Structure 1
Amino acid sequence: MPHPIADRTGTLMDYGLHIADFTWRSGAAGLGPALAAHVRNAEAAGIRRITVMDHFWQLPGIGPVEHEMLEAYATLGFIVAHTEKVLLHTLVTGVIYRHPALLAKQVTTLDVLSGGRVGLGIGAAWNEEESDGLGFRFPPVAERFEQLEETIQICLRMWSDSEEPYDGAIWQLQRTLNSPQSIARPHPFLMIGGGGEKKTLRMVAQYADACNLAASPQIAHKLDVLRGHCDAVGRDYDDIEKTAMIRVDPSSTAASVTAQTAELAALGFTTTYVFSTGIDEPSRVVELLAEAMSE
């Protein structure tokens, strides 16, 4: 893989392409070729990670709910076939959408078929409107976080050498067999997304390889909270990758992108996932990131 860029402070900063909007000039009929070209161009430009949302409707703030949205794991499989080096994962999977064993098997399958390039991004889910519309049960927040922790534990169990049963409060598995096993060892890349201070960041400290936080005035405080959870569970804070997410739009420039990422790098973030709104030609996003990486 190409080496991550260094920001002006000398801190290494990696860019990820987060594809959150599929409403492109190509239209739905041309979406397959357009997406294939987009991810190939991103990889050729030196982008080292590509992620997709795990939603079924478009999100408010990005576009109308009726706009195009592709199912995440089928889309990742398509992207696997059109890339060679990039790390791929969801940003992030809503825990309520899939049985934990199915999710572990999906990620394992893609990891194997990609040669060890597919990980899991996961969170507690939040989109009640989407869930109600499509008939997904949307449990109370405490239950969703209980599901999140059990799902992470099940995935890690299935990615281990153990086939022992799992007996949780929500899920019970009689045999955690997973064959073929993931190529990425000891397990596929695991990111927990979200900035909840009591539960989410505690789970990051306990289980995850990486966190993902929205760029906001509270972001430095969130890192302080994460550090406290790491101290509480005996985890080295520096072992956890700190990643953030920023938005670009038609007014964004390479200078504005690098200014944002320099601020994040100064706080200790090493990867910034970039998503776009209002840009209907995906090559423009790649061009913008390539220009930012060259500054």
Structure 2
Amino acid sequence: MKVGVHYANFTHPDWEHALEDRLVETARVADQGGVSLVTVMDHWFQMENLGGPPEPMLEGYTTLGYLAAATENVRLGLLVTGVTYRHPGLLAKTVTTLDRLSRGRAVLGLGAAWYEREHLGLGVPFPAMSERFERLEETLRIAAQMWSEDDGPFEGKHFRLAETVCVPPPYQRNGYAGGIPVLLGGSGERKTLRLVARYADACNLFGESAEVLAHKLDVLRRHCEDVGRDYDTIEKTAIGAGTATGAESRDDFLRRMEEYAALGIELVTLTPTGPDPVAWTTDLVEGVLPRLAEL
């Protein structure tokens, strides 16, 4: 089983002066220690459960571009890009730029967006959920077209592009859409997992019990059968599956990861906890990652 590090919380001691150095050093420890994926959130305001808007938050793709220059091996992505935050043509260009500058390490994480407060706060339209999912599907189609040989127009319900030009193209050409690998976040059975089956290279499920994950994966398998997709071509990942170094004992955590691996979960993304994400990540790569690699 592979490991991802999700850097969600920037509020650490003396963050006003040390935020940038601490972020980069955490990414470097992960990069050199064998972590497979480093992600940050796509928010402008910090989430309420981490203190809300008064707490620090960096813009996602600028942050990933900064980390691309500080790392060599690890994949980089947002977990996940809110579909309402950027016009899809500009988003495809942005993540393509990240892929080029990282020499093929970008992942396009996408989701339907949910944090209404930051939309209202910064004046960004926040349509109903049904429309956000329509926009998500059109964004997936636009990205695929921009990464293809077709640079002609795109006509959708919500988006109209006269020219889907993307030069230079992505460094990666091995995604299901013909370009950068696409990861969809969320566990919704009717919409999200259906879109995974139709468009994505990976799903990102919430790290719940093995029984819940088994059910979600069964739903995904059925969607794959409906659209004629090979279920085994989709990377199964989970987030929020424990801290590995926190209150839960390491042995208990590893037992749960054995259950996840038996279900086909290939990567688990963990969020640093405590006041020092560098020390947390060092402990992860030295004490936990080797044992997960055996699963």
TM > 0.5: yes
Structure 2 residue corresponding to 1:283, chosen from 278, 282, 291: 278
Q: Does 1:193 align with 2:185?
A: yes
Inter-partner Cα distance in structure 1 for 2:239 and 2:35? 15
Gaps of 5+ in 2: none
> What is the match of residue 267 of structure 1?
263
Given the two structures, how large is their TM-score scaled by the length of structure 2?
Answer: 0.92
How far does residue 283 in structure 1 lie from its aligned partner after superposition? 1.6
In the TM superposition, 1:26-175 aligns within 5 A as: 26-175=14-163
Kindly indicate whether the alpha-carbon contact (under 8 Å) linking 2:272 and 2:281 is maintained by their aligned counterparts in 1.
Answer: no
Segments of structure 1 that go 5 or more residues without pairing to the other structure are 1-12
Q: Could you tell me how far apart the structure 2 residues matched to 1:64 and 1:100 are?
A: 27
Please report the RMSD computed on the Cα atoms of aligned residues, expressed in angstroms: 1.4
Could you give the per-residue CA deviations for residues 152-191 of structure 1, whole angstroms, max 9, x where no partner exists? 1101111111102100010000110100000100311100
Number of equivalent positions? 282
For residues 172-221 of structure 1, the C-alpha deviation after alignment (integer angstroms, 9 at most, x for no partner) is 00110100000100311100111111111111000000000001242211
Structure 2 counterpart of 1:192, which letter?
L
Counterparts of 1:6-17 in structure 2, within 5 Å, are 13-17=1-5
Give the 3 Å change call, closer, same or farther, for CA 97–211 of structure 1 in structure 2.
Answer: same
What is aligned with 1:222? 216
For residues 270-293 of structure 1, the C-alpha deviation after alignment (integer angstroms, 9 at most, x for no partner) is 00011134x120123213322112
Distance, in Å, in 2 between the alignment partners of 1:26 and 1:257 is 31
Quick one: distance in 2 between partners of 1:96 and 1:144?
A: 7
Where does structure 1 differ by over 4 angstroms across 4 or more consecutive aligned residues? none
Question: TM (normalized to structure 1)?
Answer: 0.92
Moved more, 219-228 or 98-107: 219-228
Query: Residue 135 of structure 1: CA displacement?
Result: 1.6
Deviates more, 1:36-45 or 1:240-249: 240-249
In structure 2, relative to structure 1, the CA distance for the partners of 1:58 and 1:260 (3 Å cut) is farther
Identity among equivalent pairs (%):
46
Q: Is the 8 A contact 1:26 1:34 kept in 2?
A: no
Task: Provide closer, same or farther for how the CA distance between residues 241 and 42 of structure 1 changes in structure 2, counting only shifts above 3 A.
Answer: same
CA drift of 1:61 comes to 2.7
TM-aligned CA distance change 1:61 to 1:259, over 3 Å: farther
Q: Could you tell me how far apart the structure 2 residues matched to 1:220 and 1:23 are? A: 35
